[in-house]
A and B are shown apart, each in its own frame.
Chain A
Amino acid sequence: MADEIVRRGSIKLAPENFLTETQLQEARTARRQFMAKALAMGAGVAAAVPAGSALAAAAAGAGEKEILELPEHTKGLGQPVAARAYGQPSKWEGGLQRRESPGLTRVPQASVSFCPLQGMFGIITPSGLHFERHHQGWWDIDPSKHRLMVNGLVKVPKVYTMDELMRLPQVSRIHFVECGANTGMEWGNVAVPTVQYSHGMLSCSEFTGVLLSTLLDDCGIDLKKAKVVLAEGADGSSMTRTIALDRALDDVIVAWGQNGEMLRPENGYPLRLVVPGVQGVSWVKYLRRIEVGDMPYATKDEAVHYIDLMPDGQHRQYTSIQEVKSVITTPSGGQVLLEKGFYNITGLAWSGRGRIKQVDVSFDGGRNWKAADISSVVVPKALTRFNVGWVWDGRPAILQARAVDESGHVQPSYRALRAVRGTKSIYHNNAIQSWLVRESGEVFNVQA
């Protein structure tokens, strides 16, 4: 096969990384031959042969090479312990990476990389796949030199070192973080092919740190005057965002831990704010300062960006809450179902207003809905994994998911959302996503 794959960026893949249409056809033929043979042999088990096991065995009546010929790893000696002092994913998993959306931004330090939701399981995002959004590049800051200052409407403005912060009472909680602009390219029409680009500014981790309320209390916050806090980063952008006081005193965390280890540099090492349920821009990274104030600050990222344009020309300012939303991640845009039959349909649901209460899935473009299973971990303001069985009959189908949160908020359709907010908002698109499965098995991003 001569096709050479030219990829964006500098990584080059070996040409056999994907199947050409010819190879797919060969694979289909091979499978049919195997099935025919197995049936001819009177093996009633043939129907239970899972996809993927059939190919190599096509010719061999005795069974599959994968079983009959013992592989190297069964017959040889494997690698020693600590060969990789910090473990790495399998070399076969290289396709699932953070990726940029071409043309979305102009310079790579003020840009986004999207999380590969299409191939992930459960609710925790591996830290190395967490989506990135930087405004002025990322840093790996020396934690011994990092300081957090709390000032403004407090009795004593204070400075803390990391050593000191990490002695304070701590909490570990699972929360999702979603960029306010997630799915923002799709307000007017379909713009991207896969769930990585449509919904991938979304991740979920267990964060460890001290409650902001503990620190504000420690500095003697003036609750008579205080109305908001301003969070500020230590990087070049010195990102600043205003947070309402009732929220700041509720569940906001000054965090250093992420999934059992320290934050990754791309995610704000050594200190970031975790603002559960609120858009990612407020989760200020490289957090250096908290100022208690009595009015919102109208910083650049709350007066020029992260403002939602409504049809009448007004911008909604200080929109913060990420409202109830869900998406099917497998199968999703750009994927191909291998054959007819049973599939576990899986996806994610989340809400900035609390727990997910219910997720319904439709296989007919929203005419009929079926409750999905959300029986694994369900915690407030975290991703919730849903699963539901489906038998694909080989005909075109439109797959949708719709979430309901504990406040009773039901995820809206595009039609309902646009009727109120138009198509120019950029931010806070929580509409129901549609995936069209064609007869070929290929799945397409569509709006229905």
Chain B
Amino acid sequence: MYKRKFVPLALGLMLAAAGVAAQAAPKAPAGGYGVGRPATEAEVKAWDIDVRPDFKGLPNGSGTVSRGQDVWEARCASCHGTFAESNEVFTPLVGGTTPDDSKTGHTKALATGTVPQRTTIMKVGTVSTLFDYINRAMPWNSPKSLSTDEVYSVLAYLLNLAEIIPENFVLSDKTIAEVQQRMPNRNGMTTAHGMWDIKAKPDVQGSSCMKDCPVSAEVTSRLPEFARNAHGNIAEQNRPIGPVRGADTTKPPTANAAGAAAAPAVMPTPAEPASPAAGLVGKHNCTACHAKANKVVGPSWDQVAAKYKGAEGAEDKLVAKVKAGGSGVWGAIPMPAHAQVPDAELRQMVQFVLNGAK
């Protein structure tokens, strides 16, 4: 359909024919709009980093499993675990595939459902995807900081962990196509469905029955009682006026108090804004590594508050520590320095942490 010579008028007709918002693409003045400029070669090179499944866009380079292990331990393990098995910041990257899957090109566990979690390597069918993604987005908190050879190396390490390549394999732009032939789920994708092409037909059609329709007699699923308040008190997540109120989910549901509930006698008092320091730990990205209740890369705010409760000089000491960074108190993983953060804000954040991060 688009084989014909492209002119704006033809596009307008196509839109009208397709029955979409019938607004013809505007006709450019003769000689074009005169905005924008040609991109330079260096500019295109700087941004055009994508790598396709046929390896178009793959930069020249290479890496070994052992160098990859060094990169992994220095740049990745803090979040993903030493063996890419960690579930702390994301689902595990590796696991759930077998050498047999490498032969068939189907991750068997996806069909049998025998593993609890679907790891990255179980799903991904194209090795280019992993190169492209690590190169553009990892490490998560300092993306695009790896050299090309570091990307090859760390990918080699991951592929070795997944038993796709041997320990002495040198991954490079020359050898990566071989790896593609061993990807466990390389035959696991289908595009035979109705959700890509704009003209495609849906696969599941509902019923148009209006009267005395067949239905299953009972409720088959509902939220278990223990989960009633798991999303916070629903009463606070609704408007205090109107036809309904939010249920007080801190309490069990009422028995059948047949009939009416009445409007509240008391209007809610508006929420206080979150403390400014809560905003600061977001602004300075501390929350990339710290959360209130659970350990992420660094200790949880609650752990820090508990450790230094009542300790003399803790505030000053911690302000200095966050500024300079360092490791050893909570483990071997270092916290980066925060020299760029103003002292007053560092102090506010440390006070916030020591006061229970409320």
What's the least CB distance linking B358 to chain A, in Å?
5
Q: A368-B212, A440-B256, A448-B216 are in contact. Are A304 and B235 (CB under 8 A)?
A: no
Contact with B along A1-33 (1 / 0, CB 8 A): 001010111111110111111011111101100
B30 touches A (CB below 8 Å): no
Tell me which residues across on chain B come within 8 A of A167, comparing CB atoms.
33, 35
Q: Per-residue 0/1 for B225-240: is the Cβ within 8 Å of any A Cβ (1 yes, 0 no)? A: 0011011111111111
Say yes or no: B268 contacts A14, CB within 8 Å.
yes
Contact A298 B52 (CB under 8 A): yes
Tier of interface size on chain B: 35 or more
State whether B221 touches A424 (Cβ < 8 A).
Answer: no
* Cross-chain contact B256 with A245 (CB below 8 angstroms): no
Shortest CB–CB separation between residue B91 and chain A, in angstroms? 9
A93 to B239, CA, bound (A): 6
By the criterion CB–CB under 8 Å, are A19 and B248 in contact?
Answer: yes
Q: Are the CB atoms of B269 and A312 closer together than 8 Å?
A: no
CA distance A20 to B245 in the complex (A): 12
User: Which chain A positions have C-beta within 8 A of B266?
Assistant: 16, 19, 23
Please determine whether B222 and A446 come into contact, CB atoms closer than 8 angstroms.
yes
Q: Tell which of A106, A211, A307, A338 touches B263, judged by Cβ atoms closer than 8 Å.
A: A338
Bound complex: CA A164 to CA B32 (Å): 13
> Is B21 among interface residues, defined by CB-CB distance under 8 A?
yes
A interface footprint on B76-103 (CB within 8 Å = 1, 0 otherwise): 0000000000011110000000000000
> Across the interface, do A318 and B143 meet the contact criterion of CB distance under 8 Å?
no
A230: Cβ under 8 A from any B Cβ? yes
A interface residues, tally (CB under 8 Å): 180
Within 8 A of A (CB), among B41-63: 43-44, 47-50, 52-54
- With A27-B262, A30-B262, A323-B195 already in contact, the answer to whether A194 and B212 are too (CB < 8 A) is no
Q: Does A36 reach chain B (CB closer than 8 Å)?
A: no
Judged by a CB distance under 8 angstroms, whether A56 is at the interface is yes
Please name all residues of chain B whose beta carbon is closer than 8 Å to the beta carbon of A96 when the two chains form the complex: 237-239
Q: Which of A94, A173, A218, A246 is within 8 Å of B36, CB to CB?
A: A218
Q: A21-B248, A95-B237 are in contact. Are A368 and B260 (CB under 8 A)?
A: no
CB of B64 closer than 8 Å to a CB of A: no
Q: Are B272 and A18 in contact (CB under 8 A)?
A: no
Main secondary structure of the interface of B (DSSP, over half): loop
Do A116 and B237 touch (CB < 8 A)?
Answer: yes
Report Cα–Cα, A426/B230, bound state, in Å.
21
Query: Chain B residues with Cβ under 8 A from A295's Cβ?
Result: 52-54
CB under 8 Å from chain A, chain B span 169-205: 185, 188-200, 202-205
A420 CB within 8 Å of chain B: yes
Q: Are A316 and B193 in contact, CB atoms less than 8 angstroms apart?
A: yes
A321 to B203, CA, bound (A): 12
Which residues on the A side are within 8 Å of B233 (C-beta)? Answer: 5, 7, 18
- B196: contacting residue among A21, A190, A315, A321, CB under 8 A: A321
Is B263 a contact of A136 with CB atoms below 8 Å? no
B235 to chain A: which residues have CB within 8 Å? 17-19
A/B pair count, beta carbons within 8 Å:
493
On chain B, the residues within 8 Å of A136 by CB distance are 137, 140, 143
Please measure, in the bound complex, the distance between the C-alpha atom of A59 and the C-alpha atom of B227, giving whole angstroms. 40
* CB atoms of B213 and A438 under 8 A apart: no
Kindly identify, within residues 95 to 125 of chain B, every residue whose CB is under 8 Å from any CB belonging to chain A: 106-108, 110-113, 118, 120, 123-125
Which of B285-293, B303-311, B324-332 contacts its partner?
A: B285-293
CB neighbours of B272 from chain A (8 A): 11-13
User: Which of A74-82, A122-130, A235-243 forms contacts with chain B?
Assistant: A235-243
Among A13, A224, A368, A407, the residue within 8 A (CB) of B269 is A13
Across the interface, B198 reaches (CB within 8 A) one of A18, A250, A296, namely A250
Residues of A within 8 A of B168 (CB): none
Contact flag A244-B198 (CB < 8 Å), given A101-B231, A211-B25, A339-B262: yes
Considering the chains assembled together, what is the distance between the CA atoms of A8 and B241 in angstroms? 23
On chain B, the residues within 8 Å of A298 by CB distance are 52-53, 125-126, 128-129
CB-based nearest B residue for A338: B261
B196 lies within 8 A of A13 (CB): no
B274 contacts A by Cβ under 8 Å:
yes
Closest B-chain residue to A235, C-beta based? B143
A44 contacts across to B, CB distance below 8 A: none
Give A250's nearest chain B residue, CB to CB.
Answer: B20
Residue of A nearest to B54 (CB): A295
* Alpha-carbon separation in the docked complex, A54 to B244 (Å): 16
A192 to chain B, nearest CB (A): 6
- Quick check: is A387 within 8 A (CB to CB) of the other chain? no
Closest 10 CB pairs of A and B: A313-B111, A339-B260, A52-B263, A18-B235, A410-B206, A14-B269, A169-B26, A334-B234, A439-B256, A27-B262
> Can you identify 10 A-B contacts, CB atoms within 8 angstroms?
A13-B236, A19-B266, A31-B260, A136-B140, A316-B193, A323-B195, A360-B210, A410-B208, A416-B206, A432-B206
